[in-house]
Amino acid sequence: MKYRQFGKLDWKGSILGFGVMRLPLIDGDPSHVNEEEAINMIHYAIDNGVNYIDTGYFYHNGESERVVGRALKNGYKEKVKVATKMPLVIVYSATDFDRIFDEQLRRMDMPKIDFYLLHGLSANSWHRLRDLGIINWAEKKIVQGYFDYFAFSFHDEYAAFKEIVDSYDNWVFAQVLYNYMDVNLQAGTRGIKYANSKNLGVVVMEPIRGGVLTKKPPESVAKVWESAPRRMILAEWALQWIWNQPEISVVLSGMSTMKQVQENIASAERSGIGKFNQAEMTLINGVREAYKNLYPIPCSGCRYCMPCPNGVTIPSIFEIYNDGVIYDIPNKGSTRYRDTMLDDHRGDLCIRCNKCVEVCPQKIDIPEWLEKIHELLSTPSVRQQTSPPK
């Protein structure tokens, strides 16, 4: 296993972290984890050098934290650092801070946590938690010895990311969505470089986009892959591209099988900063462009349409919709829109002022697409359309 300096801490994290959110199941129910196999996988990862374990309140409907606690008995906890997260969507008042945190300690059967994160911060949720006194609460918990370090995971735009980083001097790291397709989405490459400039650790989630980057690619994308200067499985291409970047501290993988654990550990051992040559960087850029050429909405992500006067996050909505089409995952697109897109950012808030249309270089009929996308993705089952709305 290889290790990297973790921000400002006197500690090095394994470049591969175990994201405990896609564990093997007994019957397809996320709550019914195959605990024996899951613990074997976690133990194998730790025995082979992984020293960062990431879980969260909602993962596997709460079972993830319990499984992590059980897996780290008998001396395994001393070999790793554990991160879990406060679920902001069920925080209604400051009294919820202790209630939730105490429940998490009981689930994990631990007296303290190494890293405690605010889960899925956005500008709005950060302002709300800040005003409820989350910083004072966290600092007291650290002094009392209940967790060592405070951090956050993030789902919003770059401007919000920069604001959150700058709002508090004692963040230890930021956890961000990042992969070779999402260089401009959310915090993106700019956010990673900014966090690194502030001496924060950077933990990457969704390095293979929830598995879609390992699916059999469309014909036009497959042709680009055929020109690869060396042969690797698709998951390894995605991981190696991220590990090539010096700003990254840990890459999380939500591993579901022992084979995935073994493959990812072997891949981590082959990684290194600067190991991607120019031909390989050109290949990845070509794959990205080949995928984008399949987008039904020709949005380039230039963001000239932003900010929307009514708060609609136009590029993010188009990204979700386009992804559902090119990766053939329409129902996942619906879930992502309904569950992760904030209510005050969704397409139904468009008031057809047409300011976005006036500045769009691609001449996209943005209001029409927003209406159609909201109609399709705000319901649980969708069939996405690739032609412009009429």
Kindly report, residue by residue over 184-234, the tens digit of the pLDDT: 888 999 999 999 999 999 999 999 988 889 988 989 999 999 999 889 999
Instruction: Indicate the pLDDT class of residue 342, thresholds 50, 70 and 90.
Output: low
Give the pLDDT of residue 383: 44
Closest-CA residue to 221 (of 279, 294, 278, 276): 294
Conformation bin of residue 145: beta by default, left when phi > 0, alpha when psi is -120 to 50: left
How many residues are given for the chain? 390
Give the pLDDT of residue 302: 75
pTM of the entire structure?
A: 0.83
pLDDT above 90 as % of the chain: 71
Give the pLDDT of residue 322: 85
* Cα–Cα distance measured from residue 70 to residue 66, given in angstroms and rounded to the nearest whole number: 6
Q: Which two tokens stand for residue 340?
A: 């992760």
Q: What is the mean pLDDT of the chain?
A: 91
3-state secondary structure of 48: coil
Helical packing angle, 158-167 and 188-197, nearest 10°:
20
Give the pLDDT of residue 313: 87
Give the pLDDT of residue 341: 67
Per DSSP bridges, beta strands 16-19 and 250-253 are parallel
Q: Which two tokens stand for residue 378?
A: 């705000």
Per DSSP bridges, beta strands 147-154 and 113-121 are parallel
Residue 168, pLDDT above cutoff 70: yes
Residue 175, pLDDT above cutoff 60: yes
Region 256-280: mean pLDDT is 94
CB 165 within 8 A of CB 198: yes
Give the lowest-confidence range in 84-98, 207-221, 270-284. 207-221
The 10s digit of each residue's pLDDT in 294-322 is 888 888 777 789 889 988 989 888 888 88
* Cα–Cα distance measured from residue 21 to residue 77, given in angstroms and rounded to the nearest whole number: 19
Closest-CA residue to 329 (of 218, 202, 246, 223): 218
The 10s digit of each residue's pLDDT in 12-43 is 999 999 999 999 999 888 889 999 999 999 99
Closest-CA residue to 154 (of 145, 146, 163, 143): 163
Instruction: Indicate the pLDDT class of residue 331, thresholds 50, 70 and 90.
Output: low
User: What domains can you pick out in the chain, each with its CATH number?
Assistant: 3-277 (3.20.20.100), 295-390 (no CATH)
* Cα–Cα distance measured from residue 46 to residue 77, given in angstroms and rounded to the nearest whole number: 10
Instruction: Indicate the pLDDT class of residue 100, thresholds 50, 70 and 90.
Output: very high
**Residue for token pair 């550990």:** 265
